[in-house]
Chain A
Amino acid sequence: MNEILQYTLQGLAAGSFYALAALGLAIIFGVLGVVNFAHGACYMLGAVVAAVLQDLLGLNFWLALLVVPVVMFVFGVVIERLLVSRLIALDPLYNFLLTFGLTLLLVDLVKRQYGVSGLPYTRPDLLTGQITLGALRLPTYQVFVLAFSLLVCAAVWLLMTRTRIGMIVRASTEKSELTRALGVDVNRWVTPVFGFGIALAGLAGVLAAPFRAITADMGSSFIIILFAVVVIGGLGSIVGAVVAGFIVGLVEAFGQAYAPALSQIAIFVLMALVILVRPAGLFGREENA
């Protein structure tokens, strides 16, 4: 029982990274119709920027949680204005290819600059050790990651449901043409939304920094699993991205615990099953297929 709870927490903590990043991916797809291949690279950049700022300026983890997403937001805005916007009127596959090229570029730039051995990151004292609840001992960091990302997801949820910006984003995610026809200037929101999605990937990267090895390749398998996440959740669905992120985290954690060799494969088997039963994804609608 104790064991199962621990694996559950571990899975939910790992799922937090997927959920946050997938949320960004889903929002970008919703408003721009672009699947951002560079999302894994942005997750990696988030962690690298956090590590580099800690090294250079002594920026601590708590400030990094604030600063890095802002840096990544700016990065996302630049990328959108400079590259993505030029292809936005074409088939979405072109931007998929463009961001793939961007991924190669970013990964090898980081590799050249910082090597392959991984950057060091000191986690804050507050988050080391374990929380003891009776017989239960849970790593503090995992509890924090889960709580924090749930908080962020909730904040994004409120932003989406309670504000005008959120309403526009949701409307253009669900029915882009109709939103335009109703006189909403969707284009105005395209750049900030792209930046916001990138910032979420960067935030996931900061959260992962004290927890995972910070290397140029840390986003390489991450992005593939992220794709599985959004296929499972349904690409057009914001809720689906978050829920599927946590599901995949759980599958991964329990897989690692009980069948280590199969844990990665299990994610893709799950994806295959979803495609068979519900091609549009768990929360997707058939018309988006």
Chain B
Amino acid sequence: MSSPTSTSDATGTGAALAGTGGFLGRSRRGWLLVGLGLVLALALPWFVYPPVAMDIACWALFAVALDLLLGYAGLLSFGHAAFWGGSAYVAGLAAIEWGLPFPLAALLGAVFAMALAWPVGVLSVRRSGIYFAMVTLAFAQMLFFVVNQWRGLTGGENGLQGVPAHFFGVEAVEDQAFYFYYAALPIIVAGMWFAWRVVHSPFGRVLVATRDNPARARALGYDVERYRVLVFVLSAGLAGLAGGIFAISHGFVSLQEVAWQTSGKVVLITVLGGIGTLWGGIAGAVVIVLLEDFLASSGFDGIGIITGAVFIVVVLLFRRGVWGTLSDLLGRRTGRSHAVERSISAGDGEEPTA
């Protein structure tokens, strides 16, 4: 891109990190892929252990939510654990205390996450680029300390134990992870559909404009900060939805859900999948959750060594991510040249001149 060690370009993050479209939503092939994805999602618990399938779905939605913010507004939040975990606690408490059915509990959690995201967003969007990442991280840590201290409500280091999965008295769903997955999947899919709608709405277009050239967007009369706060809140809501379902599917909420390592994990999943591709997060979630599950079940006690190494390799060599790379390959094969996409996407012209 620009000169070496350019720091002034902080707001152009998105432009540097991401492309626009991705190859979904393009007529027939798009629908074909959506159909394929749905079939795979439906078949998933037949091939992997159902609780792991549920984890994949939740992390996938979480990553899609983060990509909505990172890929389309160019803002890297390193504090999304606050929304995922905050919602997990609220959903868990709602299920324990009021016996709410899990979709409603998760929805309540999502609403809480959005309410939390509003002030955090208003403060954080005052800075962009690397500052935004640090500020969101610090605010998330603030929630971590609150949750840790407020033992009476949150159980402190023990977390919330025994979170019931109520589902209108349908026992199969309440007791068996296999059926729970199918009850929760529509909510996850709806969340992803919502993210897709946002990206392909006029709002989403303006968002991309504020990412690529905030000064011009401002000159055109768009209130850049307001757009950023809005997308931050929407992203937090989706993250909360995922976190709420995750908590109830596990039957407990641990302090881990609000820890910064969780924020880092979702960033890893998103980057691995491909920033600015929206659906890349799904691929990233499949890889990371299966990898962690494999490492955990094989008794390896240094998961961070592997995930950390994966992170380093992806950032060094594979910045377009799984989805971005696939998208490039497919685009090339069918002879389509996404001229616009090319010019602002990360993979081209961005490689260090080796």
Q: Report if A and B associate in a common complex.
A: yes
A5 interface hit (Cβ, 8 Å):
no
CB distance from A235 to the nearest CB of B (A): 7
Contact B352 A224 (CB under 8 A): no
On chain B, the residues within 8 Å of A102 by CB distance are 308, 312
Cα distance A275–B132 in the bound complex, in angstroms: 11
Decide yes or no whether A261 CB sits under 8 A from chain B: yes
Contacting B at CB under 8 A, from A106-160, are 106-109, 111-112
Chain A CB within 10 Å, residue with most, of B301, B304, B350: B304
Chain B nearest Cβ from A91, distance in angstroms: 4
List of B residues within 8 angstroms of A265 by Cβ: 142, 145-146, 149
Q: Is the contact region of chain A dominated by helix, strand, or loop, or is it mixed? A: helix
A2 to chain B, nearest CB (A): 29
B267: Cβ under 8 A from any A Cβ: yes
Cβ of B303 < 8 Å from any Cβ of A? Answer: yes
A35:B134 contact, CB within 8 angstroms: yes
Inside 8 A of A112's CB, which chain B residues have their CB? 301-302, 305
| Nearest CB in chain B to that of A112: its residue | B302
A123–B3 Cα distance when bound, in Å, is 48
A268 and B127 CA atoms in complex are apart in Å by 16
Verify if B258 is at the interface (C-beta below 8 Å from A).
no
Q: Which of B6, B130, B352 is in CB contact (< 8 Å) with A93?
A: B130
Most B CB within 10 A of own CB, among A33, A97, A109: A97
User: In the assembled complex, how far is the CB of residue A176 from the closest CB belonging to chain B, in whole angstroms?
Assistant: 6
- In the complex, chain A residues 62-107 whose Cβ is within 8 Å of any chain B Cβ: 83, 86-94, 96-98, 100-107
Question: Using Cβ atoms and an 8 Å threshold, which residues of chain B touch A261?
Answer: 149
Interface check B229, CB cutoff 8 A = no
> Bound state CA distance, A98 and B134, in angstroms?
15
Contact with A along B6-31 (1 / 0, CB 8 A): 11111011001100000000000000
Question: 1/0 contact trace for A246-289 toward B, CB 8 Å?
Answer: 00000000000000011011001101100110010000000001
Contacts of B33 in A (CB 8 A): none
- Which B residues are CB-close (under 8 A) to A289? 126-127, 131
CB pair A268 B139 closer than 8 Å: yes
B4 CB-CB contact with A under 8 Å = yes
Contact present for A105 and B3 (CB under 8 Å): no
Q: Inside 8 A of B103's CB, which chain A residues have their CB?
A: none
Closest to B4 in A: A89
Cα-based distance from A105 to B268 in the complex (angstroms): 13
Asked whether, in the complex, the Cβ of A176 is within 8 Å of the Cβ of B316, the reply is no
Question: Quick one: which of B6, B137, B308, B316 contacts A104, CB cutoff 8 A?
Answer: B308
B76 to chain A, nearest CB (A): 5
Cβ contact within 8 Å between B141 and A90:
no
Minimum CB–CB distance from B278 to chain A (whole Å) comes to 19
B311 partner, pick from A90, A104, A227, A231, beta carbons under 8 A: A104
Which chain A residues border B124 with CB–CB below 8 Å?
Answer: 275
**Given the complex, which residues of B lie within 8 Å of A239, measured CB to CB?**
none
Chain A contributes a number of interface residues (CB within 8 A of B) equal to: 55
Decide: A93 and B133 in contact? CB cutoff 8 A. yes
**Does B284 lie at the interface of the complex (its beta carbon under 8 Å from any beta carbon of A)?**
no
Q: Is B48 in contact with chain A by the CB < 8 A criterion?
A: no
- Provide the B281-302 mask, 1 if CB < 8 A to any CB of A, else 0: 0000000000000000000011
A248 nearest CB across to chain B (Å): 11
Indicate if the CB atoms of B305 and A108 lie closer than 8 Å: yes
- A101-B314 Cα distance, complex, nearest whole Å: 10
Q: Among the listed B7, B9, B131, B141, which residue makes an inter-chain contact with A231, where contact means beta carbons less than 8 Å apart?
A: B131
Q: Which B residues between 105 and 124 are near A, CB-CB below 8 angstroms?
A: 123-124
Cα A234 to Cα B123 with chains together (Å): 16
B1 contacts chain A at the CB level, 8 A cutoff: yes
Which residue in chain B gives the minimum CB-CB distance to A187? Answer: B4
B120 to chain A, nearest CB (A): 9
**B137 to A275, Cβ gap below 8 A?**
no
Tell me the nearest residue of chain A to B151, going by C-beta.
Answer: A261
A218 at the interface (CB under 8 A from B): no
CA distance A86 to B352 in the complex (A): 7
Any B CB within 8 A of the CB of A32 = yes
Interface residues of A in 38-56 (CB under 8 A from B): none
**Which of B9, B131, B307 sits near A91, CB closer than 8 Å?**
B9
Q: Which of A100, A107, A228, A261 has the most CB of B within 10 A?
A: A100
B-to-A contact residues, CB < 8 Å: 1, 3-10, 12-13, 16-17, 76, 123-124, 126-127, 129-131, 133-135, 137-139, 141-142, 145-146, 149, 260-261, 264, 267-268, 271, 301-305, 307-312, 315-316, 319, 350, 352
Offer 25 A-B interface pairs, CB within 8 angstroms, sorted by A.
A35-B133, A86-B316, A89-B1, A93-B133, A96-B76, A97-B315, A98-B315, A101-B309, A103-B308, A104-B261, A104-B311, A105-B309, A105-B312, A109-B302, A109-B305, A111-B302, A187-B4, A224-B137, A231-B131, A264-B145, A268-B142, A268-B145, A275-B126, A289-B127, A289-B131
- Pick the 8 closest A-B CB pairs, nearest first: A101-B311, A108-B304, A105-B308, A104-B308, A33-B7, A91-B16, A268-B142, A104-B304
Q: A102-B312, A111-B301 are in contact. List 17 more A-B contacts (CB 8 A).
A: A32-B5, A89-B4, A90-B352, A91-B9, A92-B129, A94-B17, A98-B315, A98-B316, A101-B268, A101-B311, A104-B307, A107-B304, A186-B5, A190-B5, A235-B131, A264-B145, A275-B126
